[in-house]
Structure 1
Amino acid sequence: MMLRNHKQALLTMLIATAVSGTVITDAAAQARSADRSDQRERRGSSKAAAAEVLYPNATRKEPGMKSSAKLGKQLQKLVDSYNEQKFPETLTEATSILGNSAANEYDKALAAQLASQAAYQQDDVAGAKRYLQQVLDANALDNNGHFQSMLMLAQLQLQDDDKAVQAQGLTLIDKYFAESGSKKAEELVSKGQALYQLERYQEAIPVLKEAIAASPEPKDQWNQLLMAAYAEAGQTGEAVAAAEAVAAKNPNDKKAQLNLANMYMQADQMDKAAGVMDKLRASGQLTDEREYKQLYSIYANTENKEKEVISVINEGLEKGILKPDHQVYLALAQSYYYSEPQQVDKAIEAWQKAAPLSPTGETYLNLARVLHSEGKIPQAKEAARQAKAKGGLKNAADADKIINLK
């Protein structure tokens, strides 16, 4: 789960406390609602529903601390600035509270919590991490606020580029699961992805499986991550089985079918991969160059499928989906040349189109060899000269032999 792309998923803090008789609603309520104006109306209500207990199975005993009366107005100002998305003001108010000798541990934890959200909203990830650690060190919030802060810090550490910091994130998220009792699918995926990124594929697999099983509608990328973990762990059979299950569940989902074809390719089951891709082709779902190249490459790596390679490439060129580049013409030339019956003239024509597009003279040299074998000596000599002129030959002597033919 890419945390940067899901900012709202991180803003799930539930701050529910009384300050001077007014309920302070926290960032979490906003995160769960797309309509901020509606949230403001609810914040203005004189009555507020009790905060949802997010961690009924937590082993941590809530400290039961409350804000100090002396800082009531300052805390309210802090919350109001955050709710109004005045993040620089939120940080200023939080800094003031954190440095106030009259503030108790709860005041400081609440200030650090909102400061972490404000910092994150301004793309200050380092600052967000620093404030979140202060929340945990204070250990003063209720379970909702404490564990959501722990989870956010763990997730930010897990997406860090430094593997040592990622390791800290893994330790912290394990602590989170152990103490909070949470088994939420999205949170388990965070851990599974981190393990995958750390190349601990065998450890990632059971975590990802648990996440998928825990969700009534697991996201496509979770299944893709599980497939990738199986593949990287060398469990090709399990990767294929997972891809087949997803594809069977989503027969009209192009992405699921393409993933299945990729898994078949990795398992060297080219016939099955081709079958999946051909169904997509027949239904007009192959629409970009990469997909056509994938299909003709599958056929090119399968015995006696030259006819199919030719058909796919020509169709792709006619539709304007395949670009007429060196790779395409080279595959076409080879398929014509090795097809049954052999189609030498068409192969030569394709090689003639491929050779000028090649970065080296190797394709010209191959063309010269074919022309020579067909007894077309003048054309073979010209192709060999073109090969030398283009350069980059592995064996220039072969070109010289053709050029010097009598």
Structure 2
Amino acid sequence: MSQIFRRPLVVALTAALGVSLLAASAIAQQKSESMRDADQRARSMSDGKGEHPSGKKDGDAAKKPALYPNAARVAPEIKVSPKASKLLQAMQEQYGKDDWAGVMAKADEIVGLSSANAYEKSFAYSMAGNAAASADDQAKAEEYFTKAVEANGLDNDGHYSTMYNLAATQFGEDKFADALKTMDRFLAETKSDKAEHLAFRAGILANLERYEEAAAIYKSLIAQNPNDKRILMNAVAALQNAGKFPEANGLLEDAYKRNMLTESRELRSLYIGYMNVERWDDARKVIEDGTAKGILKPGPDLARDYQVLAQNAYAADNLPLAIEFYKRAAPMAADGEAYLNLAKVLDMAGKKAEAKAAAKQALEKGVKKPEDANRILAR
């Protein structure tokens, strides 16, 4: 009989569902949303609907509530010289035409002016950062956003939106320590308690493998909004990666009872979690329920999971149950290994004819050790 891979195999399966996928994808989406918002802000500038190079705002923009109302920072006085104003307006026109290279070149020209003040530099750097991000030059975007923040010349909405985009850009470059430092500063200065900001920080922590800290943030967010499935799954992933399977299972069980787990990866996260704490019957029930509802589809992943159940049944000397699970796994497996294990268990159970039939199917699908199948056929 093949070696019984129990907890090591299950842990490997869980890792495939962990923070490296879930949190990263969530933050990638968040980063995309952040950059889209920045792009819209920059375009509103170029359309004259937002902040003007003169530092003045139109009536509609001025009525909008502050994005960061709790920020303690005192916004600097905004002044723009006639010479810089013309260049800033020209840069905005280039942005409106998606001339990213032109925007960056114009920004460099503006900040190179000996008379350029903090606002003019910050405004130019911020626009250039958005242009670089749109051109998919993340390293350049980080450089420009950093300089925009350092120049410290924008109003609070512009200043902290730029800081947030800096953190998102650093995350996109896998500079997680830098992203965390930027995000910590952002949260400390804005005193923001928005879910998207806290979730972003949690995701950065997860990518730094600080899973327990990430999970604590996610759990606090779940308490505020228990129906947010993306936050829930990120909390589960962080807990699983921290080895806290019972706690992760508790969150998933609650969601399962409320019919929130509607995708195969979500159900798989629950039953793999059960396997990790050796709740084999519960894992089986979830698999059977998911299969009956059509959420879990036949395929190599489901075949591997059935084989884990089969291996456990074999280790518990329950040959009939092991045979049942191998029979379910074998037809959908990518190779003939499940058929070979089925043949071995059938042979041990004294079912020689069935064992030979399974061994033949194993050879047809391909196995690493065909001699094992041939020995059963030769008997």
Q: 1:26 to 1:279 in 2, by over 3 A?
A: farther
State the partner residue of 2:15: none
Residues 49 and 194 of structure 1, relative CA distance in 2, 3 Å threshold: closer
Q: How does 1:72-87 map to 2 (within 5 A)?
A: 72-87=85-100
Please give the alpha-carbon distance, in whole angstroms, between the structure 1 residues aligned to 2:334 and 2:226. Answer: 46
Q: Which of 336, 358, 371 is the equivalent residue of 1:364?
A: 371
Letter in structure 2 aligned against 1:353: Q
Q: Specify every segment of 5 or more residues in structure 2 that has no aligned partner in the other structure, as ranges.
A: 1-23
Give me the whole-angstrom Cα distance separating, in 2, the residues matched to 1:135 and 1:324: 53
Measured in 1, the distance between the counterparts of 2:338 and 2:103 equals 58
Q: Deviations over 1:28-53 (max 9, x none)?
A: xxxxxxxxxxxxxxxxx975332430
Please name the residue that 2:11 is paired with. none
Residues 63 and 168 from structure 1, CA distance in 2 versus in 1: closer, same or farther, beyond 3 angstroms?
same
Q: Which residue of 2 aligns with 1:41?
A: none
Residue number in structure 2 paired with 1:30: none
> 1:120-135 to 2 correspondence within 5 Å?
120-135=133-148
Q: 2:106 aligns with which of 60, 84, 93?
A: 93
- Using the alignment, how far apart are the partners of 1:176 and 1:324 within structure 2? 48
Structure 1 match to 2:4: none
> Following TM superposition, by how much is the alpha carbon of 1:79 offset from its aligned partner in structure 2, in angstroms?
1.7
How far 1:177 sits from its partner (Å)? 0.5
Q: Please name the residue that 1:402 is paired with.
A: none
Q: Does 1:292 align with 2:308?
A: no
TM-score between both structures, scaled by the size of structure 1: 0.74
- Larger Cα-atom Rg: 1
Compute the displacement of 1:190 (Å): 1.9
Q: Tell me the CA shift for residue 176 of structure 1.
A: 0.8
341, 351, 355: which one aligns with 1:347 = 355
Determine the structure 1 residue equivalent to 2:186: 176
Asked if the contact 1:109/1:140 (under 8 Å) is kept, the reply is yes
- TM-aligned CA distance change 1:7 to 1:295, over 3 Å: closer
Match of 2:201 in 1: 191
Residue 241 of structure 1 aligns with an amino acid whose one-letter code is G
1:209 — aligned with what? 219
TM-score, with structure 2 as normaliser? 0.79
- How far the C-alpha of 1:257 sits from its partner, in A, is 2.2
Instruction: State which of 284, 288, 298 in structure 2 corresponds to 1:274.
Output: 284
Who is 2:325 aligned against? 309
How many angstroms does 1:84 deviate by? 3.2
Question: 1:48 aligned to 2:60?
Answer: yes
Q: Deviations over 1:62-103 (max 9, x none)?
A: 113233333222212212222332222211221211112232
What is the identity, as a one-letter code, of the residue corresponding to 1:149? T
Which protein, 1 or 2, shows the higher relative CO under an 8 Å CA cutoff with sep ≥ 6? 2
Q: Is residue 132–residue 138 contact of structure 2 (8 Å, CA) maintained in 1?
A: yes
* Inter-partner Cα distance in structure 2 for 1:325 and 1:70: 71
Tell me if 1:248 matches 2:234. no
Two-structure CA RMSD over aligned residues (Å) = 3.0
Task: Supply the AA of the counterpart residue of 2:240.
Answer: A
- Contact 1:336–1:347 under 8 Å retained in 2: yes
Distance in 1 (CA, whole Å) between partners of 2:220 and 2:129 is 30
Contact 1:309 1:335 in 2 (8 A): no
Conserved in 2, the CA contact under 8 Å of 1:150 and 1:176?
Answer: yes
Alpha carbons of 1:194 and 1:67: their partners in 2 closer, same or farther (altered >3 Å)?
same
CA contact (8 A) 1:296 1:313 kept: yes
The structure-2 alpha-carbon separation of the partners of 1:84 and 1:211, relative to structure 1 and needing over 3 Å to count, comes to farther
Query: Equivalences for 1:367-386 in 2 at 5 Å?
Result: 367-368=374-375, 370=376, 379-380=378-379
1:318-337 alignment, distance < 5 Å: 322-323=332-333, 325-337=335-347
- Once the two structures are superposed, residues 165-218 of structure 1 have per-residue CA deviations (whole angstroms, 9 ceiling, x without a partner) of 422221221111111111222222222122112111222121222344455752
User: 2:34 matched to which residue of 1?
Assistant: 9
Question: How far apart are the structure 1 equivalents of 2:286 and 2:96?
Answer: 51
Contact 2:167 2:180 in 1 (8 A): yes
SS in 2 for 1:299: helix
CA distance in 1 between partners of 2:286 and 2:45 (Å): 60
Aligned residues of 1:24 and 1:76 also touching (Cα < 8 A): no
Cα pair 2:104 2:132 within 8 Å, conserved: yes
Q: 1:306: how far off?
A: 2.5
Q: Contact 1:204–1:229 at 8 Å: present in 2 too?
A: yes
Q: Secondary structure at the match of 2:278?
A: coil
- The structure 2 residue matched to 1:225, chosen from 222, 234, 237, is 234
Distance of 2:82 and 2:323 partners within structure 1: 83
Q: State how far apart, in whole Å, the 1-side matches of 2:334 and 2:100 are.
A: 53
- Percent identical residues: 29
Contact 1:11 1:117 in 2 (8 A): no
